[in-house]
Every structure is written in structure tokens, then in C-alpha cells.
Amino acid sequence: MGSPVSPCVLPALGAPLAIDGFNRGSTAVSNRIALVLVVAVMSMASSVALAAPSCSVWLFQSENYYWQQCVYDDGSRKCFRATDDSGSNSQEISC
């Protein structure tokens, strides 16, 4: 008989798709689908990790004081002040 029909490429996944009745490329399609699912889960996990507040670096103000501004996901803003002293001595101040 004639030669089998060559596989076409599934555009969304870039995997071969057999159109001649044979099950060619099913392993490749399964691997591609698994890869797409892994990437989707990882991207969702990274967006959860980004839910932390966005803060500026500690900026020198004057007289050994530093300040930092943080913006939270709900749009609220908080400012903090710290000194050069050792240890954690930051305190919230009005922006």
C-alpha cells in the first residue's frame, strides 16, 4: 500500500499528532502536556510568593536615621524608621 500520512504538528503544544490512524506521538504529547502542567503550577506558586509587600531599600534620612516604605497588596502603605544601632530597632512611623 501507500506510505502512511506524515504527522502534522499540533500548534499549541508543538507535539506530533498522527492523522493516519496510528498512535504515533502519544508519548511526546503526554510529555508536553505534563511539561505545560508543571510550568502552570510553578507560575501559580511564584505568584503566591510575590504576595509579600513591596518595600524600598533602607534610605539614609539624617542624624543616623534610615527609613523604608512598603506597599501591600491591598494598596495600603507603611513607613518604617531605624537607626545605626545594632539589633532590630525599626519602628513604624507615619508616611
What are the pLDDT digits (tens) for 35-59? 776 676 666 655 555 568 899 999 9
CA-based nearest residue to 61, from 42, 41, 46, 81: 81
| Domains held by the chain: number | 2
On whether both 15 and 40 belong to a single domain, the answer is yes
pLDDT-based confidence at residue 12 (cuts at 50, 70, 90) = low
**Which residues constitute the domain of residue 43?**
8-49
On whether both 41 and 59 belong to a single domain, the answer is no
Q: Is residue 1 one of the residues assigned to a domain?
A: no
On whether both 58 and 42 belong to a single domain, the answer is no
* CA–CA separation, 59 and 92 (whole Å): 15
Q: Is residue 19 one of the residues assigned to a domain?
A: yes
CA-based nearest residue to 51, from 79, 68, 70: 70
Q: Is residue 60 one of the residues assigned to a domain?
A: yes
pTM given for the model: 0.44
CA-based nearest residue to 80, from 47, 58, 64: 58
Residues whose CB falls within 8 Å of the CB of residue 58, separated by 6 or more in sequence, listed in order = 66, 67, 68, 82
* CA–CA separation, 11 and 32 (whole Å): 12
On whether both 62 and 85 belong to a single domain, the answer is yes
